[in-house]
């Protein structure tokens, strides 16, 4: 069927029975593009790829596989496959991929692609086989081949940090440090001295020189989490580092060279921030050399069973409980929910259910979605229900603006389970402002529910 389809689209297709056959055919007809299964009867697609690459490093190969895993994608791409498609796939998708490959063949210059050793590392891996997450695997795989800056965007709990770690752990920097910093959690001056370091006497309290995180991560990867939260001043400084590859510690005039791979992440819509003039466009483009958009869990619900399975195993072991499975109704409940907090929320939900149950099967009523909010695209206005601003009788609400503000902040914080990023988003203020207001009203910002 595929052959017919491709021939209809004006490709000349040669068929091979097995890997040896394929090598012969490719040589005989100087075939530039090979399509192969990863799993074949006698040999496998990856050794065929190796064999073909040995003879012609420029050969372009697309691998097809019945399963989508991050390791599979990384291995295929690192070994030099042009692309990777997981079955079942749509023929038009295959055609689009082939057309892309043909373009690549035409434009291929003399330069050869470097292939890295295949050793796969990283204690934790991403789970899921949906087309959406397989796309992520592929970009992760490509990102491991270079030191280009990566920008990871996506809602809270979608796995942005996990992706950043996977890129590092599978790149040639894996033996150097992975340093993570949450840009949203620190005030501007503190973040600056954390990132770039300082020299003795730079400010009160600077008793000796201190190395910054850029230098700390030298040779490795620096993960700038919540990059959308950095101030304009720091944006300029960061841009300079990205352009020049040099850092200047606070209070110093000396620049030092650093070789750091930057992976940045944000749950905010950076493009919108750029349009609003809140985020520098030049920095945005510098950051998104490689762009990864994390799909929300509700967009890839087919991954819920596999993820649940993983978390079930993890927490039964951790909590020494013999919870073996999730009942059919239980799974239906998980599938029906829309997961505003994404994979993290699913993990918490399962952890909680395992902790509380005394049965060996999790049923629908072991899950509790009442404390989570479902996220509509536009957050519903959260007007304090108990005390409307205008009393129905028409008389004026006696509370001051500050009272109302305090109440509203508290309510929102509770709604989002004290997740500061989410709360600031709902409130339409940045995190620094949230901190300031919390301090003003004596609201405790719990730190355990958020990193
Ligand atoms: N595809 C996945 N497979 C397995 N575990 C996952 C996956 N995605 C996320 N997780 C788990 O979900 C949790 C949240 O992931 P992570 O911290 O990477 O998300 P995030 O996007 O950085 O969230 P936030 O924006 O809230 O910081 C982690 O415990 C992580 O291990
Ligand atoms: Mg994160």
Q: Which ligand is nearest to the CA of 181?
A: 2
Clarify whether residues 38 and 57 are in a common domain. yes
Q: Taking the CB of residue 101, how many other CB atoms lie within 10 A of it?
A: 19
Give the global pTM. Answer: 0.67
Residues 279 and 359 in one domain: no
Lookup: tokens for 137:
């695997």
Single out the residue of 321, 390, 328 nearest to residue 354, CA to CA.
321
The answer as to whether 302 is a domain residue is yes
Kindly report the protein residue whose alpha carbon is nearest to atom 31 of ligand 1.
162
154 with 255, same domain: the answer is yes
How far CA 376 is from CA of 222, 285, 380, 381, in Å, comes to 33, 29, 7, 11
Same domain (yes/no): 205, 263: yes
Q: Does residue 113 belong to any structural domain of this protein?
A: no
pLDDT at 330: 95
Q: How far is the CA of 126 from the centre of ligand 1 (A)?
A: 9
Asked if residue 78 is part of any domain, the answer here is yes
> Same structural domain for residues 159 and 243?
yes
207 and 311 both lie in a single domain: no
User: Is residue 261, in this structure, part of any structural domain at all?
Assistant: yes
- pLDDT for residue 126: 87
Look up residue 204 and give its DSSP letter: T
In a domain, 127, yes or no: no
Q: Is 342 in the pocket of ligand 1 (CB under 6 A)?
A: no
354: its two tokens:
């395992």
Q: Do 306 and 285 fall into the same domain?
A: no
Residues 288 and 157 in one domain: yes
Based on the fold, state whether residues 189 and 287 are members of the same structural domain. Answer: yes
Kindly report the CA angle at 147 between 123 and 58, in degrees rounded to 5? 100
Residue 149 Cα to ligand 2 middle (Å):
17
Structural domain containing residue 98: 2-107
Secondary structure (3-state) at 402: helix
pLDDT of residue 426: 79
Quick check: 31 and 39 in contact, CB under 8 A? no
Ligand 1 in contact with 168 (CB < 6 A)? no
| CATH number, domain containing residue 21 | 3.40.50.2300
Residue 315 pLDDT: 92
Which one of 293, 322, 352 terminates a domain?
A: 293
Residue from 128, 157, 168, 268 to probe ligand 1 pocket by mutation (most atoms less than 8 Å from CB): 157
Q: What CATH code is carried by the domain that includes residue 178? A: 3.40.50.300
Q: Does residue 133 fall inside a structural domain?
A: no
End position of a domain, from candidates 277, 293, 309: 293
Supply 275's token pair: 């349009």
For the chain, the C-alpha Rg in angstroms (whole number) is: 26
CB–CB of 263/225 below 8 Å? no
The C-alpha atoms of residue 252 and residue 329 are separated, in whole angstroms, by: 63
Please tell me whether residues 289 and 414 are part of one structural domain: no
pLDDT score, position 305: 96
- Look at ligand 1, atom 5, and give the residue with the nearest C-alpha: 126
Same domain, 177 and 202: yes
The pocket of ion ligand 2, defined by CB under 5 A, consists of 161
Q: Among residues 137, 438, 429, 128, which one has the least CA distance to residue 301?
A: 128
Q: Are 353 and 362 in contact (CB under 8 A)?
A: yes
- At 45 the pLDDT is 86
Instruction: For residue 122, tell me if it sits in a domain.
Output: no
Query: Cβ neighbours of residue 308 under 8 Å, at least 6 residues apart?
Result: 326, 331, 334, 346, 350
Alpha carbon of 416 to ligand 1 centroid (Å): 17
Total structural domains within the chain: 4
The CATH number of whichever domain residue 329 belongs to comes to 1.10.8.60
Residue 228 class from Cβ within 10 Å (0-12 exposed, 13-18 middle, 19+ buried)?
Answer: buried
**Mean pLDDT in runs of 10 for the chain (451 residues)?**
78 84 84 85 83 85 79 82 84 87 68 29 70 92 95 96 94 94 86 91 84 94 95 94 92 92 96 96 96 97 95 91 91 95 95 92 92 44 33 45 80 83 83 84 65 35
Q: Ligand 1 pocket: which of 133, 343, 449 to mutate (most atoms <8 Å of CB)?
A: 343
End position of a domain, from candidates 366, 400, 421: 366
Ligand 1 near 350 CB (within 6 A): no
Torsion over CA of 372, 375, 378 and 382, rounded to 10 degrees? -10
Question: Which helix or strand (DSSP H or E) is residue 153 part of?
Answer: strand 150-153
Say if 377 falls within a structural domain: no
Structure tokens at 138: 């592929």
Residues 308 and 267 in one domain: no
Q: How far apart are CA 143 and CA 135, in angstroms?
A: 12
Q: Which domain CATH number covers 424?
A: 1.10.10.60
């Amino acid at each position: 069927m595929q052959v017919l389809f491709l021939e209809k689209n004006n490709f000349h297709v040669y068929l091979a029975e097995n890997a040896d056959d394929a090598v012969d055919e490719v040589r005989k007809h100087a075939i530039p593009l090979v399509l192969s299964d990863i799993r074949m009867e006698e040999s496998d697609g990856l050794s065929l790829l190796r064999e073909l690459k040995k003879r012609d490093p420029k050969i372009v190969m697309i691998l097809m596989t019945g399963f989508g895993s991050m390791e599979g994608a990384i291995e295929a791409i690192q070994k030099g496959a042009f692309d990777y498609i997981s079955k079942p796939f749509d023929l038009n998708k295959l055609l689009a991929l082939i057309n892309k490959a043909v373009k690549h063949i035409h434009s291929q210059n003399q330069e050869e692609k470097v292939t890295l050793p295949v050793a796969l590392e990283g204690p934790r891996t991403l789970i899921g086989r949906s087309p959406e997450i397989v796309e992520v695997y592929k970009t992760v795989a490509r990102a491991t081949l270079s030191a280009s800056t990566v920008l990871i965007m996506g809602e809270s709990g979608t796995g942005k940090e996990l992706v950043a770690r996977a890129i590092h752990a599978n790149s040639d920097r894996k033996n150097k440090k992975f340093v993570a910093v949450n840009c949203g959690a620190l005030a501007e001056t503190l973040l600056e001295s954390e990132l770039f370091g300082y020299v003795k006497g730079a400010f009160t309290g600077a008793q000796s020189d201190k190395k910054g995180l850029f230098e700390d991560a030298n040779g490795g990867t620096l993960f700038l989490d919540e990059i959308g939260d950095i101030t304009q001043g720091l944006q300029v400084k960061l841009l300079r580092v990205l352009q020049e590859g040099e850092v200047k510690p606070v209070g110093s005039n000396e620049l030092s060279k650093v070789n750091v791979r930057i992976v940045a992440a944000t749950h905010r819509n950076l493009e919108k921030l750029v349009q609003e003039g809140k985020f520098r466009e030049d920095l945005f483009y510098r950051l998104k050399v490689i762009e990864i958009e994390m799909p929300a869990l509700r967009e890839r619900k087919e991954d819920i069973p596999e993820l649940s399975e993983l978390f079930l195993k993890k927490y039964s072991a951790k909590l020494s409980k013999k919870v073996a499975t999730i009942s059919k109704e239980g799974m239906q409940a998980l599938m029906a929910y829309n997961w505003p907090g994404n994979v993290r929320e699913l993990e918490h939900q399962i952890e909680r259910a395992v902790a509380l149950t005394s049965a060996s099967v999790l049923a629908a009523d072991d899950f509790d979605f009442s404390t989570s909010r479902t996220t509509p695209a536009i957050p519903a206005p959260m007007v304090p229900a108990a005390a409307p601003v205008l009393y129905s009788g028409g008389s004026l609400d006696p509370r001051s603006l500050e009272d109302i503000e305090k109440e509203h902040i508290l309510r929102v914080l509770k709604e989002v389970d004290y997740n500061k990023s989410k709360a600031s988003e709902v409130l339409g203020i940045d995190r620094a402002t949230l901190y300031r207001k919390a301090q003003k009203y004596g609201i405790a910002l719990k730190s355990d529910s958020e990193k």
